[in-house]
């Protein structure tokens, strides 16, 4: 989304030095974000629960290591996805 890309750096500036101790604090600071051209951010907190532990298909398990490389440090969160595959 091109609007999100234009606003993301502005949101980061707004968050600079702010302790994000709750979802409400994050929402409030995001909504304070504006740009010089007049773009404003609206935000809402989704209270939807997402299913945990969803399993991927057996076919994906067989090929996933060709496209996803996990980092040695905190590999669960730090990874690279390459649609062309790793050699």
Complete DSSP assignment for 22-57 = SHHHHHHHHHT-B-TT--B-------PPPPSSPPPP
26-76 tens-digit pLDDT: 999 999 998 888 888 888 888 888 788 888 788 877 887 888 888 888 878
34-46 tens-digit pLDDT: 888 888 888 888 8
Domain ranges (residues) in the chain: 1-46, 53-87
| Contact by Cβ (8 Å): 34, 57 | no
Question: How far is Cα 44 from Cα 23, in angstroms, rounded to an integer?
Answer: 10
pTM over 0.85: no
């Amino acid at each position: 989304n091109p609007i999100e890309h234009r606003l993301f750096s502005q949101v980061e500036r707004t968050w600079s030095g702010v302790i994000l101790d709750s979802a409400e604090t994050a929402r409030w600071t995001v909504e304070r974000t504006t740009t010089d051209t007049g773009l404003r951010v609206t935000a809402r907190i989704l209270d939807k629960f997402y299913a945990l532990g969803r399993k991927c298909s057996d076919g994906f398990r067989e090929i996933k290591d060709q496209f996803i490389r996990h980092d040695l440090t905190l590999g669960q969160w730090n990874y690279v996805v390459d649609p062309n595959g790793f050699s």
